[in-house]
Amino acid sequence: MIQSGADLTLVKDWQARMEHALSERLPTSDAEPTRLHAAMRYSVLDGGERVRPLLLFGTARTLGLSEAEVEAAACAIELVHAYSLVHDDLPALEDDAVRRGRPACHKAYDEGTAVLVGDALQSLAFQLLAGDAALPASVDVRLRLISLLAEAIGASGLTGGQSLDVEARSQRRSATEVEAIYEPRTGSLIRASVLMAAACAPQLGSRLQEPLGRFATTLALALQIQRDPTAIGGAPSGERRQRLRAEALEALSPLGPAADPLRGLADWLLCRDS
């Protein structure tokens, strides 16, 4: 478990690394179009725990990769997460005025700018995967990263989950149906975070894809229950979350002690305040 001061320092180091990496890769706010660029930076920087990049870094450590080798992929996953939040907050979707303790993008700027911010952040994410010099040069690796992210945010992933959520607001849904919404909406980027790190180490082969994917999918559901215990029915939320935690950790068994960074990170995520 991530309990020691050294381990918590690692999490904080990863978070600080991401803040710097994102700031360096986002357009500067004094470059045209200045309003759009300023809104992009407003929506991405100075907020959030960077859960998805943390999982990407933790997976990289598990697979023997350095943070530098996957940093651009971590930025890409966080950029699309930020874009999804900007669009979620719009009146046409969840109509939230506040995000992370300050005005949502469409309140700080305007609705049109918020739509364009989401579009630009998504585009920038794929631009990084295609061309960032810090990622492995292999064309096969780049294509795999692009494919994983595209699948995660498409109609079978994040966007599809958002669509199901919109439909569900006017209907009563069973616990199974609600879980089917949260799996793509919340789980798709969590799963992509883990598998994109693995894609940067193709020499490890496909044998790790299944346990890493199972770990990520199970962890994502546990994190959703932690965030909103009433969203998904079934067993009491605390009991279900502990069962899912055990299943997620069990999924890492084939990786042996090398997966300790991911085990510790999972424990930290599920033990922190929701």
Predicted confidence at residue 174, as pLDDT, reads 56
Cβ–Cβ < 8 Å for 261, 62: yes
Average pLDDT over residues 4-32: 89
Q: What pLDDT, on a 0 to 100 scale, did the predictor assign at position 1? A: 46
CA–CA distance, 213 with 62 (Å, rounded to integer): 14
Nearest to 252 by CA among 220, 224, 213, 196: 213
Taking CA atoms, 70 is separated from 17, 46, 47, 162, in Å, by 12, 21, 21, 28
Q: What's the angle, vertex CA 53, arms to CA 50 and CA 55, rounded to 5?
A: 105
| pLDDT value at 30 more than 50 | yes
Quick check: helix, strand or coil at residue 94? coil
**pLDDT at residue number 204:** 76
Mean pLDDT within 198-222: 88
Note whether 97 and 104 are within 8 A (CB): yes
Q: Quick one: pLDDT at residue 4?
A: 45
Lowest pLDDT segment from 7-11, 65-69, 135-139, 161-165:
161-165
164-190 pLDDT tens trace: 877 776 665 555 555 556 566 678 999
Q: Rank 51-55, 176-180, 202-206 by mean pLDDT and report only the highest.
A: 51-55
The rounded distance, in Å, linking the Cα atoms of 153 and 76 is 12
CB 191 within 8 A of CB 51: no
Task: Map residue 103 onto helix, strand or coil.
Answer: strand
CATH of 5-271, one of 3.10.620.30, 1.10.600.10, 3.90.245.10, 3.40.50.1820: 1.10.600.10
Average pLDDT over residues 36-59: 95
Identify the DSSP state of 208.
G
Domain boundaries, the chain: 5-271
pLDDT at site 5: 47
pLDDT tens by residue, 239-258:
888 899 999 999 999 999 99
pTM, to two decimals: 0.90
Q: What is the mean pLDDT of the chain?
A: 88
Question: What average pLDDT score do residues 126-149 get?
Answer: 96
Helix axes of 175-199 and 158-168: crossing angle, nearest 10 degrees: 170
Of 18-27, 190-199, 221-230, where does mean pLDDT reach its minimum? 221-230
Q: Which residue has the higher pLDDT, 47 or 116?
A: 116
Contact 200, 146 (CB under 8 A): no
- The owner of tokens 């300790």 is 260
